Chains A and B, each alone.
Chain A
């Protein structure tokens, strides 16, 4: 079975602070992993993806994520958040059946 766990439903950080959003996955094979962002009243936008190779992948708007096979994790990071980063972030796993399995999402609030 495939599953994605985002343990933090809500995260609040101050503008300019660093950010880490956690993601753990469960899949016995080689995972394809994605982070998507959903801004208020909008659909999904792809931030970054990991297929293989360098475990640290760079995405848009200064986001990066690090894949760890040993920890079954794919945490999202940003060095300095901006108020416009406030949104819901979804970690997504694609296994061998090509289905996308979504985590529950983490709602990020950036405060002044």
Chain B
């Protein structure tokens, strides 16, 4: 079946430092990868959508300068949170899909900023 793994599961970083998280698709080709953030007590916000052979599209309030994303092949994507501050804490969720299929989501990377 289609699975998505995210790592690390949880991480702590010091305020002002950066943190990279990874997303691995298994059992299918991840032609599209979506990154979401769930801030404490809030719902999931789309950060950006990456589609192979297309430019990465960032949503309003999120930028490449802050959340650079790499999607080098059909099984892997990574996102870095640069200069993380308190407001960046939360659960970062990766969802991947092949073509127009449903997204398969990972379990998320929980980021704590101290």
Residues of A at the B interface (CB closer than 8 Å) are: 34, 36, 41-44, 46, 49, 90, 98-105
A105 CA to B107 CA, complexed, in Å:
17
Q: Which residues of A have CB within 8 Å of B34?
A: 99-100
Number of A-B contacts (CB under 8 A): 39
Q: Is the CB of A99 within 8 A of B100?
A: no
Interface readout for B93-114 with A: 1 if CB under 8 Å, 0 if not?
1010000101101111010000
Q: Which residues of B have CB within 8 Å of A43?
A: 6, 91, 93, 105-108
A42 CA to B105 CA, complexed, in Å:
11
Q: Identify B100's interface contact among A41, A49, A98, A104, CB under 8 A.
A: A98
Q: Is the CB of A102 within 8 A of B100?
A: no
Q: At the interface, yes or no: B50 with Cβ under 8 Å from chain A?
A: no
Q: Is the CB of B102 within 8 A of A103?
A: no
Q: Identify B43's interface contact among A42, A46, A90, A99, CB under 8 A.
A: A90
Residues of B at the A interface (CB closer than 8 Å) are: 6, 32, 34, 36, 42-46, 49, 91, 93, 95, 100, 102-103, 105-108, 110
Q: Which residues of A have CB within 8 Å of B107?
A: 42-43
Q: Is the CB of B43 within 8 A of A105?
A: yes
Q: Identify B105's interface contact among A44, A99, A104, A105, CB under 8 A.
A: A44
Q: Identify A99's interface contact among B42, B49, B110, CB under 8 A.
A: B49
A–B complex contacts, Cβ < 8 Å, 17 sampled: A34-B102, A36-B105, A42-B108, A43-B107, A49-B102, A90-B44, A98-B32, A98-B100, A100-B34, A100-B44, A100-B95, A100-B103, A101-B46, A102-B36, A102-B43, A102-B44, A105-B43
Which partner residue on chain A sits nearest B4 by CB separation? A43
Q: Which residues of B have CB within 8 Å of A103?
A: 43
Q: Is the CB of B93 within 8 A of A100?
A: no
